[in-house]
C-alpha cells in the first residue's frame, strides 16, 4: 500500500539554523508524484513543490531545497537560514491514482518551530 | 483575488445535529475535494468531485454527504451518523480531476468543527 512517513513529529531550531525535514514514501507505482505543502497557523495548505518520479534532479528555490532520492525512497526538504516565518506544519504527500482522478496520501506532518 | 473560501472558520454542533460546511471557489477549477485533518494525522479524503453534478466517495465517506450543483460550490454535510465529527476540514480544488496531478491543489483555510 502507498504510505508516506514523516518520522519527525516536531523540530525546534533557532533562527538562522538550517533544518531538514525528512520524508520517506512507499509505492508500487513506477510513475508517481511527490509534494510538499506548508500549513501555517492560519490553516490552509500552501503548495511548495511537485516532483515526478522521473525527475531526480534536486531543486533549490531561495532558501528552500529538496533532495529526491529514488534509491532510498526519500524526498527531503531543507530550509537554509531558517526564519520565524517558517514556523508551520509541513506535509509531504504522494499522489495515487484513484478512480479516474488522483488523491494524496499525506504524511502525518512535521511541526517546525523557529525560535527568535 | 482567486481562491477558495471556506465558512465558517469555527463551528460548534450539538450531538445528533447535521451541519453543513461551505466551500466556494472562483478559480474556475473543475475538481474539488474535501479532506479531514485530525491531530497528529495526515489528511484523509472524504469526497471528491471531478465535474458538476458528479461526486465520488473517498476513503472516509461514512457519515458525510456532498452536492455539486454548481462548479463554484462543493458543500459538505456532516450528518449525525458521523461518530467522531470533531476535526479540521479542508476543502481543495484543482484545475482538472485527471489522473495526472500536473498541478497541486489549492486549499481553503479550513473549518474547525467541534461537537459539544
pLDDT digits (tens, 9 = 90+) for B28-68: 999 999 999 998 888 999 999 989 999 999 999 999 999 99
List CB contacts (< 8 A) between B95 and chain A.
Answer: none
Cα–Cα distance, A14 to A26 (Å, whole number): 32
Size of interface A-B (CB pairs under 8 A): 71
pLDDT tens digits for B66-85? 999 999 999 999 998 888 99
Of A37, A44, A101, the CB nearest to B110: A44
What confidence score (pLDDT) does residue B100 get? 61
Q: Extract the C-alpha cell encoding B71.
A: 462548479
| Residue of chain B minimizing CA distance to A90 | B42
pLDDT tens digits for A29-40? 888 889 999 999
What confidence score (pLDDT) does residue A115 get? 96
Helix (H) or strand (E) holding B90: strand B87-94
Judge whether B110 and B88 are in contact, CB under 8 Å. Answer: yes
Cα–Cα distance, A10 to A7 (Å, whole number): 9
List all residues of chain B from 13 to 52 with a beta carbon under 8 Å from chain A: 31, 33, 40-45, 48, 50
pLDDT tens digits for A43-101? 889 989 888 888 888 888 899 999 999 999 999 999 999 999 999 999 999 988 777 77
What confidence score (pLDDT) does residue A91 get? 96
What's chain A look like in SS3? CCEEECCCCEEEEECCCCEEECCEEECCCCCCEEEEEEECCCCCCEEEEEEECCCCCCEEECCEEEEEEHHHCEEEEEECCCCHHHCEEEEEEEEEEECCEEEEEECCCEEEEEEC
Residue A6 has pLDDT above 90, yes or no: yes
List CB contacts (< 8 A) between A98 and chain B.
Answer: 45, 58
Beta bridge partners of A88: A112
Q: Extract the C-alpha cell encoding A3.
A: 504510505
Mutate to test the interface with A, among B43, B96, B105 (most CBs of A within 10 A): B43
What confidence score (pLDDT) does residue B64 get? 97
Distance from CA of A112 to the nearest CA of B (A): 14
| Residue of chain B minimizing CA distance to A41 | B109
Produce one character per residue of A85-103: b if its CB has 16 or more CB atoms within 10 Å, e if not: ebbbbbbbbbbbbbeebbb
Amino acid at each position: 500500500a502507498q504510505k508516506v512517513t514523516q518520522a519527525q513529529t516536531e523540530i525546534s531550531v533557532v533562527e538562522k539554523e538550517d533544518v531538514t525535514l525528512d520524508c520517506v514514501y512507499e509505492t508500487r507505482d513506477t510513475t508517481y508524484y511527490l509534494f510538499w505543502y506548508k500549513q501555517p497557523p492560519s490553516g490552509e495548505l500552501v503548495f511548495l513543490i511537485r516532483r515526478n518520479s522521473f525527475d531526480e534532479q534536486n531543486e533549490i528555490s531561495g532558501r528552500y531545497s529538496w533532495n529526491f532520492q529514488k534509491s532510498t525512497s526519500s524526498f527531503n526538504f531543507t530550509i537554509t537560514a531558517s526564519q520565524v516565518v517558517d514556523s508551520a506544519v509541513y506535509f509531504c504527500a504522494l499522489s495515487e491514482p484513484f478512480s479516474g482522478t488522483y488523491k494524496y496520501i499525506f504524511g502525518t506532518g512535521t511541526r517546525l518551530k523557529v525560535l527568535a | 483575488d482567486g481562491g477558495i473560501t471556506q465558512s465558517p472558520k469555527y463551528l460548534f454542533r450539538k450531538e445528533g445535529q447535521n451541519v453543513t460546511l461551505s466551500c466556494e471557489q472562483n478559480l474556475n477549477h473543475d475538481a474539488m475535494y474535501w479532506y479531514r485533518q485530525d491531530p497528529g494525522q495526515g489528511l484523509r479524503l472524504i469526497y471528491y468531485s471531478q465535474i458538476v453534478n458528479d461526486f465520488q466517495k473517498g476513503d472516509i465517506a461514512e457519515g458525510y454527504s456532498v452536492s455539486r450543483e454548481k462548479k463554484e460550490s462543493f458543500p459538505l454535510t456532516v450528518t449525525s451518523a458521523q461518530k467522531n465529527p470533531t476535526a479540521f476540514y479542508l476543502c481543495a480544488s484543482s484545475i482538472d480531476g485527471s489522473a495526472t496531478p500536473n498541478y497541486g491543489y489549492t486549499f481553503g483555510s479550513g473549518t474547525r468543527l467541534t461537537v459539544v
